[in-house]
């Protein structure tokens, strides 16, 4: 008799289950629109040339070794990452009120930050957008938060932001609640607040004394411009807020499996930093002890070297423009086919994802009849579209809706 024979099967993680089903599908025209990873025009993963270049240099660098990094990681990397997020002229950086913790991609940075907040905040309530990247909920609960609550975000009728609903829900949040905000390219809806709306969100966060925790998984990847994509975070910094921000380098560097991330912490007084760092150190020590080095060294090298940085800028422009082009192409094809419904939201959304508006049963048919894999919620990854499959996808949506 096993110690574990009483354990029942846990629920599958939807996106990974879909990847498996897609890989096992023998249909020639199958399309995977579920995973949030960039694909080339040929539908292949892309190792960014500058990442390869930096990686080779590192492997050949005789001064480097595989010794442990410090518990909070490679400081030169986390400084470069914090600068990328906030901008070197940020008052938070100049006044030494910001620092970074090199962590395990976006997920690990969120988890370390959430665990710290769960320990120090009296109220253990977090708010997430409805809908959100589903891992936020699991991750904050596992980090010790007692309760997760939704704030309204997506309006299915208008296929846009329910801004009044969002503000109302934030107004009703108890003081001290942590508010998860997608810094840019909201996952899964693809819709972000406008510049004016960010200011209104900031007002409520201030009035209600809420704690903003930004999740920044797509800086540069969304528009091709790193400063533009960091607008919300930089705005909060310039308004004097204290906040956390989890940065991921999975998408914008294509370093998905290297797990490179940074938790940026911005406070209003540098004197509180040593104590915060000491507790973050204890949390990381008990969780994974210290982070891996190779991916972070790649990002640091590219961010610090002006020539490699230029190349990286070109790469993020290549990726973001292809995604924008696919948005246009999918809309054009659906309109050309005369598919019922409005499709302008596809080109109005930003970043990797869009909500199609397809219902759960329509999604089921997309997978079963057309071999087009997508999330139950109707979310698709634009990165999975390419010039060879976009018309097939449009036709599949058309036939499914009719």
Footprint of ligand PLP on this chain (CB under 6 A)? 36, 105-107, 133, 182, 187, 215, 217, 248, 250, 261
Is 251 among the catalytic positions? yes
Is 192 among the catalytic positions? no
Identify the three-state secondary structure at position 358.
Answer: coil
Nearer to ligand PLP, 106 or 212 (CB): 106
- Residues contacting residue 47 through CB under 8 Å, at least 6 positions apart: 254
Nearer to ligand PLP, 109 or 400 (CB): 109
Q: Name the catalytic one among 46, 133, 154, 343.
A: 133
Least distance CB 344 / ligand PLP (angstroms): 24
Q: Name the catalytic one among 162, 251, 312, 343.
A: 251
How big is the chain, counted in residues? 402
Least distance CB 116 / ligand PLP (angstroms): 17
- Alpha helix (H) residue ranges in 60-194: 75-86, 91-94, 105-120, 135-142, 163-171
Is 314 among the catalytic positions? no
Least distance CB 108 / ligand PLP (angstroms): 7
383 within 8 A of 38, measured Cβ to Cβ: yes
Select from 177, 240, 230, 178 the least CA-distant residue to 203: 240
Least distance CB 385 / ligand PLP (angstroms): 17
- Distance CA(226)–CA(251), nearest Å, equals 13
Q: What percent of the chain is helix, strand and coil (3-state, nearest 5)?
A: 45, 15, 40
- Distance CA(246)–CA(216), nearest Å, equals 6
Nearer to ligand PLP, 83 or 187 (CB): 187
Nearer to ligand PLP, 236 or 256 (CB): 256
- Distance CA(15)–CA(18), nearest Å, equals 5
Q: Name the catalytic one among 162, 169, 192, 215.
A: 215
Please identify every residue annotated as catalytic: 133, 215, 251
């Amino acid at each position: 008799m096993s110690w574990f024979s009483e354990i029942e099967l846990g629920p599958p993680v939807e996106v990974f289950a879909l990847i498996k089903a897609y890989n096992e599908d023998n249909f020639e025209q199958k399309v995977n629109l579920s995973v949030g990873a960039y694909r080339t025009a040929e539908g292949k993963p892309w190792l960014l040339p500058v990442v390869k270049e930096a990686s080779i240099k590192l492997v050949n660098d005789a001064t480097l070794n595989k010794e442990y990094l410090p518990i909070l990681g490679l400081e030169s990397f986390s400084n470069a990452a914090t600068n990328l997020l906030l901008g070197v002229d940020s008052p938070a950086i100049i006044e030494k009120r910001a620092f970074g913790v090199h962590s395990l991609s976006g997920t690990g940075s969120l988890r370390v930050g959430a665990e710290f907040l769960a320990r120090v905040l009296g109220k253990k309530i977090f708010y997430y957008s409805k809908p959100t990247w589903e891992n936020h909920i699991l991750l904050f609960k596992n980090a010790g938060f007692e309760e997760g609550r939704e704030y309204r975000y997506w309006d299915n009728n208008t296929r846009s932001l329910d801004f009044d609903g969002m503000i109302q829900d934030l107004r009703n949040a108890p003081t001290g609640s942590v508010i998860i905000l997608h810094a840019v390219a909201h996952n899964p809806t693809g819709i972000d607040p406008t510049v004016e709306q960010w200011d209104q969100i900031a007002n409520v966060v201030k009035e209600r004394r809420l704690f903003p925790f930004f999740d920044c998984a797509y800086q540069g990847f969304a528009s091709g411009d790193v400063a533009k994509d960091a607008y919300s975070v930089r705005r909060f910094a310039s308004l004097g807020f204290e906040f956390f921000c989890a940065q991921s380098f999975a998408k914008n560097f294509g370093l998905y499996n290297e797990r490179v991330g940074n938790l940026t912490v911005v406070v209003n007084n540098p004197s509180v930093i040593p104590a915060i760092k000491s507790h973050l150190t204890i949390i990381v020590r008990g969780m994974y002890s210290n982070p891996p080095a190779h991916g972070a060294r790649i990002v640091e090298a590219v961010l610090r070297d002006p020539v490699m940085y230029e190349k990286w800028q070109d790469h993020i422009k290549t990726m973001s423009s292809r995604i924008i082009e696919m948005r246009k192409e999918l809309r054009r094809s659906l309109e050309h086919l005369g598919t019922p419904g409005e499709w302008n939201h596809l080109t109005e959304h930003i970043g990797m994802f869009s909500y199609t508006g397809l219902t759960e049963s329509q999604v089921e048919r997309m997978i079963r009849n057309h071999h087009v894999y997508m999330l139950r919620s109707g979310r698709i990854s634009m990165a999975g579209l390419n010039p060879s499959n976009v018309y097939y996808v449009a036709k599949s949506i058309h036939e499914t809706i009719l």
